Structure 1
Amino acid sequence: MEPISKASLSSIPTCYATVSVGTPDHDLKDKLKAIAYAGFEGIELGFPDLLAFASKRASRDVGPQEFDILCNYGLQINRMCKELRLTIVMLQPLANFEGWTPQSEERKDAFKRAKGSIRIMEAVGTDMLQVGSSDAPISIAQDVAVADLKELADLLAAHNFRLAYENWCWSTHAPDWTHVWDIVKQVDKPNIGLCLDTFQTAGGEWADPTTKSGLLESRGSREKMEERFHESLKSLAATIPPEKIYILQISDAYKPIEPLDPTPDESGLRPRGRWSSCLRPVPFDGGYLPVVDVAKAVLETGFRDWFSIEVFDGGPDGQDQDWKDMPAYTKKAWKSFDRFRDEVVNVINA
């Protein structure tokens, strides 16, 4: 394995999620220009941004399953990215895909969305689809989830596409990296791998937005919790082959000013999901998660592929950002990322 040094990390390609600057109301071309201006080489194309782009250009609300129209506008996005020399690394996210009851309307809808996503991937020119571990309020049998993901992997393989499976830390069946890795191993297809995320790992195994301390108090003392967390990271570094990690997303989290209600909200979203949606800044900008430790573990596998900034920064109080200057924000994100690489090296050499 290549030693982890500043030089080795400087060659890692970098991308930025379009949903992590501005809002869907901001023109996508302006978002792309801000990302390119900051120095990023690629993007994760967020489905909400595709919808908003199509709706603005069509002068009407375009529905999420109007795939003919979405593909037409996807071709335009492809051209814009080529002009800005941005690679479209991944389309994201396909949510609540796996685990539905066979023959159910929900399962039919999930595969309709998946097949439409494949068409969009062809149009925009990307080969990777992000699937988040389901947070649907149903009991999901692992063998059903595995079967669904196998079928999706086969659909993607027909186009030489890949499936990046991510543990969402509020998922009802696969919140930790160990869960999604176990599922990926059982799917056992060459075109399925992991989308790992510093927030999802540290936010699920180290932190808890429903406690006053912001820490995972259910695992005993802080000392015991830290010990279990770092044992998990050691296991990650020793267990996952680097070729089975497709991308590492980077973000931190603010500790909520007041602990979040531990019960789901009116939409059914669990507290970590609410935390994720608006309290995720770039590293070194007010967050408190041990994100450098997570990145160190991922790099110790030998992984040297895409790093991506995926943040949802509503400030410490979770309110909307002032997006008057998107290039300034993406430039700040780049500086944070550059410091992030230095800190990873410092931790390794300590």
Structure 2
Amino acid sequence: MRTSIATVCLSGTLEEKMLACSKAGFDGIEIFEQDLLVSPMSPEEVRAMADRLGLGLDLFQPFRDFEGVTEAQLQANLHRAEAKFQLMNRLGMDLVLLCSNVATATIDNDELFIAQLRQLAELAAGYGVRIAYEALAWGKYVNTYQHSWRIVQGVDRPNFGLCLDSFHILSRGDDPAQIAQIPGEKIFFVQLADAPVLSMDILSWSRHYRLFPGQGGFALDEFMLHLVRSGYAGIVSLEIFNDVFRQSNVERTAIDGLRSLKWLQSQAAGLLAGSGQHSALELEALPGAQEATAFDFAEIRTEDPERVAGMLAQLGFAFKGQHRRKPVQLWASGEARIIINSQRSRGVEAAVSGFGVQVPDPGAGGARGTSLLATKVPRQQTHHEQELPGFLAPDETEVFFSSPANTRNWEREFLDAGEAAPETGNPAVDGIDHINLAQPWQCFDESVLFYSSVLNLEMMPGTEVPSPMGLVRSQVLRTADSCVRLALNIVPQGLEKAIERHHEYPEHVALRTGDIVQLARSARARGMEFLPVPANYYEDLAARFELDGQLLATLKELNLLYDRDEQGEFLHFYTKTLGNMFFEVVERRAGYDGYGAPNAPVRLAAQFESNRWSRN
């Protein structure tokens, strides 16, 4: 599938955008007129640069407000159009995007639209230019793709066809199925955009909140399936208006965009498989998605391993060994493995730096990550150490694949790792329940796509949680059976500047147990300090749930938090924050499948208060 991206998606100058698109691996670009107008490069220089970079100049856009006007306005529009066709000849471009009129149209008459657009097509033909007519969702008279297709049929010129934009179709709730009935050769260009499901006017939604495919709520894989059935064989491009993208690193955004197209065409190929239908788009499937079966380990990076080790010991973890050639420790409890890594840790008090998941085929997982343009973790290993394919997530978390068939062979790399810890009879952590990762505001959507595409995790409905420093947006991704769960929390913009680095929004590893009350008592007896919970919380808890008095007293005594739904109960506590991380211990009773979301504001406020006092 030939890929393209509109320069309006990216930050920087036109030159920087072209370099980034070429480096990411796009086949071509759409030139947004404003980017050209403000560029010091002449059209000839832009053309030459594109040739050097191997980039096609696929679409010049946009040409606005042409049809449905008075005769005098029509002549002015034709004059304006001819100047743009001449400019396109200098650029070496032959396709222009024409948007349906939103501002200057005064006459609602399809026959007039057709007659005026036919004049435009005939003028364009003299310059070897084709026109892709797009129905804007807020167009004054033409605002659906079905209407624009009727106009194209009426114009009936070989150089006049359709541009289909997924946002303009799906944001209105239009059914894209009729795309399959349009002859593919009359679809001149396709633009894709995803978006979160919002209730707001479509123009504002479009101008500020579009996302790359896979980051929002649109069923773009089904949209692509209808496109395939039309016989379309042309370019598939991205047109994303997003305030964050236009402030972010241009190279990272370009890579994120191409990753989204690779993921989407693979999803569409999967839907097409077995139908016996040929795709003229030549959709490429990614290496097989791997369904994670468990967390293999979580890794904590710290310059002071004894403090982290002390906290793990208080939670009942046993020291399993020191790596034979690295300053790395292994601690274990049940199926939970925590690695304490002191490499490259100067100035790092404590932070969640990575995790591993078990998958049926780590090699295929690694190949998929590479195909999705993920950056490989630079990991040195000797011939007798287990290979763990690993990638850097957008937030720089290291993610590794391992195989349950070779269950934790990597443990042999730790001296004394084969010796089991003596049984104490105390309740213990039996596994990793989930990992919570803080995301910089500028890469939240990028991270969602990375984890859903590379790790094949399902995106759950997002939530927003109030904190003393602003709303925290949270997004859970997980496997179908919930054996691997990630919670991504976007750090409120400006938070990193409002407080010192070692008090930034913390991340955590949530550990699972079958008896949290006894585990909390054991941890306290070993000297653990829990995050203190305000007394007001327990008064509210009693009012909401009418809890047994003894249970309420136990919760309050041990700083335990509680939630309940129709499926079951959830008890959990938090350790104090160490550096930029902490541990959570959870007990899920019956079928409870959430994360104690009503308690998140209590935790955030308590951590803010605790950290504020620790600074003074």
**TM-score per shorter chain, which class?**
0.7 to 0.9
Measure, in 1, the Cα distance between the counterparts of 2:143 and 2:157: 21
Measure, in 2, the Cα distance between the counterparts of 1:50 and 1:240: 33
User: Are 1:289 and 2:218 an aligned pair?
Assistant: yes
Give the equivalent residue in structure 2 for 1:339.
263
Pick from 64, 74, 95 the counterpart of residue 43 of structure 2: 74
How do 1:186-265 residues align onto structure 2 when only pairs under 5 Å count?
A: 186-206=154-174, 229=175, 233-237=176-180, 239-256=181-198, 259-260=199-200
How far 1:205 sits from its partner (Å)? 2.6
Measure, in 2, the Cα distance between the counterparts of 1:236 and 1:255: 22
Measure, in 2, the Cα distance between the counterparts of 1:169 and 1:132: 10
How far 1:83 sits from its partner (Å)? 1.3
Measure, in 2, the Cα distance between the counterparts of 1:49 and 1:255: 29
User: 2:102 corresponds to which letter in structure 1?
Assistant: D
User: 1:234 corresponds to which letter in structure 2?
Assistant: A
How far 1:93 sits from its partner (Å)? 0.5
How far 1:321 sits from its partner (Å)? 4.4
Give the equivalent residue in structure 2 for 1:88.
57
Measure, in 1, the Cα distance between the counterparts of 2:76 and 2:196: 35
User: Are 1:14 and 2:3 an aligned pair?
Assistant: yes
Measure, in 2, the Cα distance between the counterparts of 1:173 and 1:75: 37
Give the equivalent residue in structure 2 for 1:136.
103
How do 1:14-33 residues align onto structure 2 when only pairs under 5 Å count?
A: 14-22=3-11, 26-33=12-19
Task: For residue 189 of structure 1, give the secondary structure of its aligned residue in structure 2.
Answer: coil
Measure, in 2, the Cα distance between the counterparts of 1:288 and 1:337: 16
Measure, in 2, the Cα distance between the counterparts of 1:154 and 1:293: 35
The answer to which of 195-204 and 335-344 deviates more is 195-204
Task: For residue 171 of structure 2, give the secondary structure of its aligned residue in structure 1.
Answer: helix
User: 1:166 corresponds to which letter in structure 2?
Assistant: E
Contact 2:99–2:133 (Cα < 8 Å) also in 1: yes
Cα gap change, 1:98/1:37 in structure 2, threshold over 3 Å: closer, same or farther?
same
Task: For residue 135 of structure 1, give the secondary structure of its aligned residue in structure 2.
Answer: coil
Measure, in 2, the Cα distance between the counterparts of 1:157 and 1:52: 28
Structure 2 unmatched runs, 5+: 275-616
Task: For residue 313 of structure 1, give the secondary structure of its aligned residue in structure 2.
Answer: coil
User: 2:179 corresponds to which letter in structure 1?
Assistant: L
How far 1:48 sits from its partner (Å)? 0.7
Measure, in 2, the Cα distance between the counterparts of 1:73 and 1:275: 34
User: 1:20 corresponds to which letter in structure 2?
Assistant: C
Matched pairs, number: 273
User: 2:69 corresponds to which letter in structure 1?
Assistant: W
How far 1:344 sits from its partner (Å)? 0.9
TM norm structure 1 = 0.74
Task: For residue 20 of structure 2, give the secondary structure of its aligned residue in structure 1.
Answer: helix
User: 1:178 corresponds to which letter in structure 2?
Assistant: Q
Q: What percent of counterpart residues are identical? A: 28
The structure richer in strand per residue is: 2
Contact 1:198–1:295 (Cα < 8 Å) also in 2: no
User: Are 1:44 and 2:30 an aligned pair?
Assistant: yes
User: 2:7 corresponds to which letter in structure 1?
Assistant: T
Give the equivalent residue in structure 2 for 1:266.
none
Give the equivalent residue in structure 2 for 1:127.
94
Once the two structures are superposed, residues 264-285 of structure 1 have per-residue CA deviations (whole angstroms, 9 ceiling, x without a partner) of: xxxxxxx322221111110112
Contact 1:15–1:41 (Cα < 8 Å) also in 2: yes
Contact 2:74–2:116 (Cα < 8 Å) also in 1: no
How far 1:109 sits from its partner (Å)? 3.0
The answer to which of 107-116 and 26-35 deviates more is 107-116
Contact 1:201–1:294 (Cα < 8 Å) also in 2: no
Once the two structures are superposed, residues 100-148 of structure 1 have per-residue CA deviations (whole angstroms, 9 ceiling, x without a partner) of: 1112xx3333222211110111011101111011112634321111111
Higher normalized contact order (CA 8 Å, seq sep 6+, divided by chain length): 1
User: Are 1:109 and 2:76 an aligned pair?
Assistant: yes
Once the two structures are superposed, residues 127-177 of structure 1 have per-residue CA deviations (whole angstroms, 9 ceiling, x without a partner) of: 111101111263432111111110111011112221111111111111111
User: 2:33 corresponds to which letter in structure 1?
Assistant: F
User: Are 1:276 and 2:206 an aligned pair?
Assistant: yes
How far 1:255 sits from its partner (Å)? 2.7
Give RMSD over aligned pairs: 1.7
Pick from 242, 245, 250 the counterpart of residue 326 of structure 1: 250
Task: For residue 75 of structure 1, give the secondary structure of its aligned residue in structure 2.
Answer: helix
Task: For residue 193 of structure 1, give the secondary structure of its aligned residue in structure 2.
Answer: strand
Measure, in 1, the Cα distance between the counterparts of 2:188 and 2:203: 23
User: 2:242 corresponds to which letter in structure 1?
Assistant: D
Contact 1:177–1:201 (Cα < 8 Å) also in 2: yes
Measure, in 2, the Cα distance between the counterparts of 1:339 and 1:296: 14
Contact 1:202–1:291 (Cα < 8 Å) also in 2: no
Contact 2:9–2:246 (Cα < 8 Å) also in 1: no
The structure richer in helix per residue is: 1
Contact 1:153–1:162 (Cα < 8 Å) also in 2: yes
Once the two structures are superposed, residues 294-343 of structure 1 have per-residue CA deviations (whole angstroms, 9 ceiling, x without a partner) of: 1211111111210111111225xxxx7432x2111100111111000011
